[in-house]
Amino acid sequence: MKITAAVVFEKNGPFSVEQVDLTDPRADELLVEVVASGMCATDLHGRDGYFPTMPYPAVFGHEGAGVVRAIGSGVTKFKPGDHIVMSYPWCGECPNCRTQRQSYCLSVRKLKMGGTRADGSTLHSKNGEPVFGAFFQQSSFGTYAIANERFAVKVRKDAPLEILGPLACGGHTGAGAVLNVMKPSPGDSFAVFGVGSVGLSAMMAAKIAGCDPIIAVDVHEHRLALARELGATHTFNHTGRTDIVAEIRKLTGHGVRFSLETSALPAVLREAIEALMPAGTCVLLGSARAGTEASFEMPFLQRGRTVRGVVQGDSVPETFIPQLVDYVVAGKFPLDRLITFYDLADINRAAAEQASGATIKPVLRMPH
Ligand SMILES: [Zn+2]
Ligand SMILES: [Zn+2]
C-alpha cells in the first residue's frame, strides 16, 4: 500500500517526507496505522550514520503507537482495532533471550539496525527500489508500519494513545532502570544526572517507588524546573560547577543509594559514581560512541558499590509497558509533560529542537 513516511536518503541527510510503498503483513505481522511516534536520539544517530549496518535510503522511528488495521494469517494475540505500542526486537533463541534477558539479545544490532527483516527483506520500497529501515523492526516514522506481533504490546483503549509511543523506548528505559534494576525501597536516596526524557522517566519512577531525596542534575534550567514539578526534591544546575558531588554528599551525608547517568559524558559518569554511598548502585544509560573511555578510582568499588549499564530498562515489554500505561492513566507517570507534538511534515524541526535540548521528547503526529 502507499503510505507517507520520512525517508533519509543518505548519511547525514535530512528527513524527507515521501510517498513510499509498504509491504503486506506476513503471517506473524500486523499492519499498524501509526497515530504518533516518539523521536529518540537513536533515530538521529541512524540518520547521521552511527550504525554501519544500516543502508540508505532508510525510514527510522522506533517509538510507534497506533491501531492494528490488519493481521497476518498466523496472528493470535491481536485483532484489528487493538491499540498497541511497538517495542524493541529480540531473536528469542540466543542464551540471553532464553533467560529473560531479551534486552541484551545477542542478535539485537542486526534486528534493530540491520535495515531489513531478519531474513533480509525490506518493509518499504519506492518506484520498485528497496527502501531500508525496518528500524527496531518497525520504522514508525510513517502513516502505517508493519510490526511483528512478538514485539507489539497491546495497551488499554482508555489510555491516550498518541502519547504512549515513548514508553516503547525512552520511557521504559528510564523507568525500567529504576523499577526493574534498582528496585528502590521507600526512602532510598536517588540522583539522576541529565533530565532529558530518559532521566525524567527514571525520576518519575523513583517518585512512584518513594525515593527521598530525589536529586536532579542538568545544564538546562527549564528541564530542572520541570524536574521539580515532577518530583525532584533538589536540583543542581551543573553549568560552570565542579562541586556537584560535594553538594550531594552534604545533602545526603554519605552519598546516594542510587545514581543514574544519562548524559554519556565520561566526567558526568565519574560524578554519578562518586556520588554513591557504600553499597550504592550507579546505572549507566547514556549511549556513548564506541571508543569513549571513562575513569574512576578503583577503591571506590571495594566498598560494595556497583556500576552497570542497562539497555531498554531490562524491560519485558509485554508486562512492563502495560504497567507503565496504568501509571499514566492514574496520573502517576505524567508523560504528557515531557512531550511536544509536531506534524510529520515538521520532522526536521523536531529533530533540531530535540538535538538542541529545546524539546525534551518530540512526538510526531501522522497525517491521516
Ligand atoms: Zn536473542
Ligand atoms: Zn530509543
Instruction: Report pLDDT digits (tens) over 49-92.
Output: 999 999 999 999 999 999 999 999 999 999 999 999 999 999 99
pLDDT at 145: 98
pLDDT at 290: 85
Give tens-digit pLDDT for 194-209.
Answer: 999 999 999 999 999 9
Ligand 2 centroid – CA 47 distance (Å) = 13
CA distance 328 to 129: 41
Is the pLDDT at 339 greater than 90, yes or no?
Answer: yes
Ligand 2 centroid – CA 139 distance (Å) = 12
pLDDT at 225: 97
Give tens-digit pLDDT for 123-162.
Answer: 999 999 999 999 999 999 999 999 999 999 999 999 999 9
End-to-end Cα, the chain, rounded Å: 14
pLDDT at 289: 83
CA atoms within 13 A on the CB side of 17: 15
pLDDT at 368: 87
- Give the model's confidence band at 288: pLDDT under 50 very low, under 70 low, under 90 confident, else very high: confident
Residue type, 353: E
Give tens-digit pLDDT for 9-23.
Answer: 999 999 999 999 999
pLDDT at 304: 95
- Ligand nearest the Cα atom of residue 62: 2
- Give the model's confidence band at 348: pLDDT under 50 very low, under 70 low, under 90 confident, else very high: very high
1 contact partners, CB below 8 Å, separation of at least 6: 21, 22, 24, 144
- Give the model's confidence band at 287: pLDDT under 50 very low, under 70 low, under 90 confident, else very high: confident
CA distance 63 to 291: 27
Average pLDDT of the residues in 267-273: 97
Sign of CA dihedral 199, 202, 207, 208: positive
Determine what percent of the chain is predicted with pLDDT higher than 70.
100
Question: Mean pLDDT score of the chain, rounded to an integer?
Answer: 96
pLDDT at 171: 93
Distances (CA, A) of 4 to 29, 131, 368: 20, 13, 9
Least confident of 197-206, 285-294, 351-360: 285-294
Ligand 1 centroid – CA 97 distance (Å) = 4
The residue among 37, 25, 5, 59 whose CA lies nearest residue 148 is 25
- Give the model's confidence band at 259: pLDDT under 50 very low, under 70 low, under 90 confident, else very high: very high
**Looking at the DSSP assignment, which residues form a beta bridge with residue 179?**
none
Ligand 1 centroid – CA 92 distance (Å) = 5
Element containing residue 182 per DSSP (H, E): none
pLDDT at 215: 98
Cell, residue 362: 518530540
Is the pLDDT at 250 greater than 90, yes or no?
Answer: yes
Residue 72 exposed, middle or buried by CB count within 10 Å (0-12, 13-18, 19+)? middle
Ligand 1 centroid – CA 303 distance (Å) = 34
Residues in the chain: 368
355 contact partners, CB below 8 Å, separation of at least 6: 44
Ligand 2 centroid – CA 312 distance (Å) = 8
- Give the model's confidence band at 265: pLDDT under 50 very low, under 70 low, under 90 confident, else very high: very high
Ligand 1 centroid – CA 96 distance (Å) = 6
Ligand 1 centroid – CA 316 distance (Å) = 13
Ligand 1 centroid – CA 284 distance (Å) = 22
pLDDT at 202: 98
Map grid coordinates 529501515 to a residue.
133
- Ligand nearest the Cα atom of residue 104: 1
pLDDT at 132: 97
Find the DSSP H helices in the chain: 41-47, 108-113, 170-176, 197-209, 221-229, 244-252, 266-274, 299-302, 317-329, 347-356
Give tens-digit pLDDT for 90-129.
Answer: 999 999 999 999 999 999 999 999 999 999 999 999 999 9
pLDDT at 245: 97
Average pLDDT of the residues in 287-311: 92
Average pLDDT of the residues in 355-364: 94
What Rg value do the Cα atoms of the chain yield, rounded?
20
* Pairing mode of beta strands 63-71, 306-309: unpaired
Residue 239 exposed, middle or buried by CB count within 10 Å (0-12, 13-18, 19+)? exposed
45 contact partners, CB below 8 Å, separation of at least 6: 51, 287
CA distance 119 to 145: 18
